[in-house]
Chain A
Amino acid sequence: MTTGAWHHLRNDAGARAAAAVLAAAAACAVLAPALAPYDPTIQPDPVALRLLAPSWQHPLGTDPFSRDVFSRMLHGARVSLGVAAGAMLLSVTLGTALGALAAVMGGWVDTAVASLVDVLIAMPRLLVVIALVATFGTLSPWWLVVLIGGSGWLTTARIVRAEFRDHLQREYVVAAVALGASRWRIIRRHLLPAVAPQIAITAALALAAVIPLEAALSFVGFGIQPPLPSWGNIILDGVDYLTSAWWMVVFPVGAVTITVGSALVLADRMRVAVGGEEHEP
């Protein structure tokens, strides 16, 4: 079934387009130092080169400090997507581990994890992260990864727990237990591969949730600190010049929207491929 889903996904134009966009964004992030025409932090001439409209020299214009927006966008992708990818990985790993633990151990462990999820899911994530960051003052990008990732494991844990519990009752797992397979072996050989598509879906959704979160944090000044560029703080730099220098806001907003949209489309298409949701009768 998983092979079928994979085949379906590979032939799905929407999924391919979304994956291509994400891959291109990742490539920009990785190759930023090679691709960027200017240094993203140097301010060559804050008087003469300030807020220049897009041109051949500066494809996306310059910012109020005369820095090249295109270069800052590329390096910003490195920071924003790096933080997002790290936070996504952290939250999905944490969620999978806790969800699996709850389902397999059962008993009080299960109750504890389920209640914790139930309690924490009611808390506005953005608010909590803002409050935490603001309390600590400004944080390094690594701490941002920890905070954003650490607050995002709930959804994955819920889904992994439900899926694991479902599979634990199926005959093939019961048969494996009857044959004397160890718990760890069952998780590794049977349960994780069976639930992998669902985890992939939550990973795509987690990415779609985390990119705007970083942008929001940086935009309110609690996230990535200047002069290090991120999509969020490029918007912050441009917000006072919105009416005159549209390029400062439109490009980073577009970048956030397109990457988040691609992650959402990918999650949608995966869901269709795996579960047949939205298939014609």
Chain B
Amino acid sequence: MSPLLAICGLSVDAAGARGTPSTPILRDISFGMRPGETVGLLGASGSGKTSLALAVLGLLPPALRAHGAIHFDGHEMLSASRGARRTLRGRRVAMVFQEPLSALNPRMRIGAQVAEVALAHGEHNTQRAARTALDMLARAGLTDAEDQARRLPHELSGGERQRVLLAMAMLLAPALLIADEPTSSLDVTVQAQVLALLRAEQRQHGMALLLVSHDLSVIATTCERTLVLHDGRLVEDVPTRQLIVAPEHPQARALVAAVRRGPPPLEHGT
């Protein structure tokens, strides 16, 4: 089967201010994902996980420069035109962000924020878009979706907000979903529900999932294969089972040992 996503020799640098040398964020990353595959991306804070995710969507901040190649769905993301990337985002590749409160527009109703995804990709009928959004919100497990859709983000709980973000990302059944620490700001029971929801959607639509986390226990319950990122380099690319049984890289060993000792404290931010 041809790969859905193929990253070859991807490097990302932060441009230095006025003549100072640039700082590398990601160094020579290469890996691939098949359609429908679930891959975990494991790494400590500051290892470059979020930059990798943003690079795939073409959403790196202007101060960061990417080199190499990212092939996705028949397009080369780094050299594609703005317009081409825009039509892929939200429709073929979607992303869930880690801090659901700040990731939602504080002045826009939930329903409108979800429906906007459909409207950005060829849907012209506002009412039909609102209908689709409502269905999706209900499927994402938001109780009383009709009522909730009229609310503003700050009127929802953290778990509900994360469901809204998921609904937004899954609305158009993308081929690849990137979830950046989707559960790290939630408490443990809600974490499990959100992960279950992700898996269910994935099975139903054959969607590939790249789950970014610093927490091996989250990845271990969800992913067949795990990549370990350390200091901007990909240090492991192995089946998750093998990583848990026999981690090779010292950093991978440290992360595995952390899980064996017990659940890590909830961590916010990358």
- The residues of A with any CB-CB pair to B shorter than 8 Å are 11, 280-281
Taking CB atoms, residues of chain A closer than 8 Å to B63 are 280-281
Q: What 0/1 pattern do residues 2 to 24 of B give for CB contact below 8 A with A?
A: 00000000000000001000000
Instruction: Count A-B pairs with CB separation below 8 Å.
Output: 6
B62 interfacial contact with A, CB 8 Å: yes
Task: Give A11 to B61 CA distance when docked, in angstroms.
Answer: 25
Q: Please list 6 pairs of residues, one from A and one from B, whose beta carbons are closer than 8 Å in the complex, sorted by A's number.
A: A11-B18, A280-B61, A280-B62, A280-B63, A281-B61, A281-B63
Task: Give A281 to B17 CA distance when docked, in angstroms.
Answer: 12
Task: Give A126 to B34 CA distance when docked, in angstroms.
Answer: 71
Taking CB atoms, residues of chain A closer than 8 Å to B61 are 280-281
Task: Give A17 to B62 CA distance when docked, in angstroms.
Answer: 28
CB distance from B25 to the nearest CB of A (A): 14
Chain B: interface secondary structure? Answer: loop
CB distance from B61 to the nearest CB of A (A): 5
- The residues of B with any CB-CB pair to A shorter than 8 Å are 18, 61-63
Taking CB atoms, residues of chain A closer than 8 Å to B62 are 280
CB distance from B121 to the nearest CB of A (A): 27
Chain A residue with the shortest CB-CB distance to B61? A281
CB distance from B23 to the nearest CB of A (A): 15
Task: Give A11 to B18 CA distance when docked, in angstroms.
Answer: 10
Taking CB atoms, residues of chain B closer than 8 Å to A281 are 61, 63
Chain B residue with the shortest CB-CB distance to A281? B61
Task: Give A11 to B63 CA distance when docked, in angstroms.
Answer: 20
CB distance from A267 to the nearest CB of B (A): 23
CB distance from B63 to the nearest CB of A (A): 6
Taking CB atoms, residues of chain A closer than 8 Å to B18 are 11
Task: Give A280 to B63 CA distance when docked, in angstroms.
Answer: 8
Task: Give A280 to B61 CA distance when docked, in angstroms.
Answer: 9
Taking CB atoms, residues of chain B closer than 8 Å to A11 are 18
Task: Give A281 to B61 CA distance when docked, in angstroms.
Answer: 8
Task: Give A165 to B12 CA distance when docked, in angstroms.
Answer: 43
Chain A residue with the shortest CB-CB distance to B62? A280
Chain A residue with the shortest CB-CB distance to B64? A281
Task: Give A38 to B218 CA distance when docked, in angstroms.
Answer: 85
Chain B residue with the shortest CB-CB distance to A11? B18
Task: Give A281 to B59 CA distance when docked, in angstroms.
Answer: 13
Chain B residue with the shortest CB-CB distance to A280? B63
Chain B residue with the shortest CB-CB distance to A279? B17
Task: Give A281 to B64 CA distance when docked, in angstroms.
Answer: 10
CB distance from A97 to the nearest CB of B (A): 38
CB distance from A198 to the nearest CB of B (A): 24
Chain A residue with the shortest CB-CB distance to B15? A280
Task: Give A170 to B169 CA distance when docked, in angstroms.
Answer: 43
Task: Give A281 to B62 CA distance when docked, in angstroms.
Answer: 9
Instruction: Across the A-B interface, give the 6 residue pairs with the lowest CB-CB distance, nearest first.
Output: A281-B61, A280-B63, A281-B63, A280-B62, A11-B18, A280-B61
Chain A residue with the shortest CB-CB distance to B17? A280
CB distance from B22 to the nearest CB of A (A): 14
Chain A residue with the shortest CB-CB distance to B63? A280
Task: Give A140 to B250 CA distance when docked, in angstroms.
Answer: 81
CB distance from B117 to the nearest CB of A (A): 24
